[in-house]
Amino acid sequence: METADLMFLVITYDVSSARTEVYKKLLVKFLTHEQNSVFAGDLTESQYRKLRAALLKVAEPGDRLLQFQTANRHNLRAVSLVKNEGNGALEEKELLRHSLGSLIL
């Protein structure tokens, strides 16, 4: 699979606490779990369509999903800001830990 065939996606959700596990179980099949309700990774168009179809099945009125999509990860810089315990400075940690070979369907 060439990286040119991939899109980069970040999805986060804001749902009732009773529904968070539903989204977590679904999204982790397609993307890397970055933090609480944030998932990111590379998908083909086919994988993206499967993800959208699966989201349609679990979504309920009032569930809030936020999606960021770009043609590839090279068009976006995503980092987590983490406070260094030693000197207290904010350090940038790459968010893009997703491994292209780790997709589980």
Residue 23, CB half-sphere, CA atoms under 13 Å: how many?
22
Instruction: Tell me the domain boundaries of the chain.
Output: 3-102
| Per-residue pLDDT, 2 | 52
Q: How confident is the model at residue 101 (pLDDT cuts 50, 70, 90)?
A: very low
- The amino acid present at 52, given as its one-letter code, is R
Helix then strand then coil, in percent of the chain rounded to 5, is: 30, 35, 35
CB-CB neighbours of 87 under 10 Å: 7
| Fold designation for 3-102 | Alpha-Beta Plaits (3.30.70)
Given the structure tokens 């993800």, which residue do they identify? 51
Task: Look at residue 103 in the predicted model and tell me its pLDDT.
Answer: 43
C-alpha span between 80 and 8 (Å, rounded): 17
Tell me: the pLDDT tens digits for 31-89? 999 889 999 999 999 999 999 999 999 999 989 999 989 887 777 777 777 888 888 88
